[in-house]
Amino acid sequence: MSRAAACHRAAPRQRGVTLVELMVTLLVGMILTAAVFGVLAVYEGRKRTTTSVNDVSQSGSFAMHMLDRWVRSAGSGFAQAGVPTAPAAGGIANTTLAFGCRVLASRGAPVLPRAAGTPLPAPFAGVNTGVPGSFRLAPVLVLPGQTVPGVSAQASDVIVVMAGAGGFGDVPLLPRVAIDPAATAFATPGQIHLANSVSLAGGDLLLVADQPAAGGGAADCMVQEVAAGFAGGLPSAVDLGGDYAVSPIAGTALETFSEQAVAMKLGNVGAGNPPGFLLLGVGDDNTLFSYDLLQTAGADVAGAPSPNLRAVADGVFELHALYGVDGDGDGRVDQWIDPGAAPAGYTLAELMSGSAAAATAIGRIKALRVGLILRTALRERDPVAPAQLVLFSDLGPALTHTRVLAAGERHFRYRSVESTIPLRNALLID
């Protein structure tokens, strides 16, 4: 036998993997891979859901924090304004003198009331207090159903908040006639005459409010600006100047204010301490917006984005609010009112009528009950939301707000946040 043949015969016999064994191995591997990917997919889905729910919960907390901050400060600077007037003479009570006055302001161009043909920026383009472009002074006002967010496509409320930031105890500055009976004019061109202007500085914004005529409603009130470099005194003629020192506005001249008028410090735009005359509402993309009615961030320019419109928080699907009213004058809320179905005396038209009764009703609003509906941005494969969402359920059927969800809306997750916010300045009003 040859050597090569002997070596061949001595070599061990080798076998490969059969086709069946290979297919079984591949099948087992595929099953294990599918199982692993399934577990990872479920984990990742739950992780995204948890993240989106956490995000919307944080957005809701922040949005409610900002609303609480604005509403609590409402009325600062003017809630205690006024000089005593006998109600029998047709005047408005001391503490509600300014409530319901038509706010006049101009920053080179009319700011309030807004000029015809210049609507507010979205989402507030449809906002209307009864007279287009006109706003009357009130710590808070709820405009029921005056925005329609693009995602929700159903009516959502708008909250109007008005507050100063003067920081001097909200004490109205009395006219010079208060210490000098010989004084006969509250204002002359470019000046207003006050008994005390020690707290004023250049660039301060003032709200000038007058006593109503006998038997009439609230007179117009006007925003003015103290001239740069002004140093206060006792008594003093306060020089006016700057962007907001405009008169007349909407047919009302500063010189027509009576010697019973008062001035209230609202804040200072140049010093970074502007007043907060804001609209708050939900717009497109589940976003809560604020808009500065006094345009302190800069004048709006037609066709350009408004510098006064700001996104506050995302994830906000709808906003709804109720008035908390002190009906018996004991300083406590004893009645909750739905602004969309308000009883006599608290309808939007009545609150914005400028009458003495309207001023009294505005002063009786001591709190807001605010409800936010929040929605995640993540669409789930299966329906995960209930058929309806409910706000204010503890206040009875008449005040409960029910949001019925369409079939497609139920593929998102929702959170409802509610808060009762006191108006700390309004609580001081008798």
Q: What is the pTM of this model?
A: 0.87
- Six-digit token string for 230: 């002004």
Domain coordinates in residue numbering, the chain = 54-428
Average pLDDT over residues 399-425: 95
Whole-angstrom distance, CA of residue 303 vs CA of residue 284? 19
What does the pLDDT read at residue 378? 87
- Six-digit token string for 318: 């709808």
* Average model confidence (pLDDT) across the chain: 87
Whole-angstrom distance, CA of residue 66 vs CA of residue 90? 39
- Comparing CA positions, the residue from 382, 376, 381, 367 lying closest to residue 414 is 376
Q: What is the pLDDT of residues 346-376, one digit of tens each?
A: 999 999 999 888 988 999 999 999 999 999 9
Model confidence at 335: pLDDT above 70: yes
DSSP 8-state code for residue 96:
G
Average pLDDT over residues 61-81: 90
What does the pLDDT read at residue 397? 94
Whole-angstrom distance, CA of residue 103 vs CA of residue 121? 19
Element (H, E) at 237: strand 236-239
Residues 6+ apart with CB under 8 A from 106: 244, 246, 249
Q: Are the C-beta atoms of 147 and 160 separated by less than 8 Å?
A: no
pLDDT > 90 in the chain, percent:
59
Instruction: Look at 116-120, 142-146, 158-162, 368-372 and tell me which has the smallest mean pLDDT.
Output: 116-120
What does the pLDDT read at residue 416? 94
Q: Are the C-beta atoms of 282 and 156 separated by less than 8 Å?
A: yes
Model confidence at 387: pLDDT above 80: yes
Q: What is the pLDDT of residues 260-278, one digit of tens each?
A: 889 999 999 988 899 999 9
DSSP 8-state code for residue 218:
P
What does the pLDDT read at residue 348? 96
Whole-angstrom distance, CA of residue 77 vs CA of residue 166? 7
DSSP string, 39-69: HHHHHHHHHHHHHHHHHHHHHHHHHHHHHHH
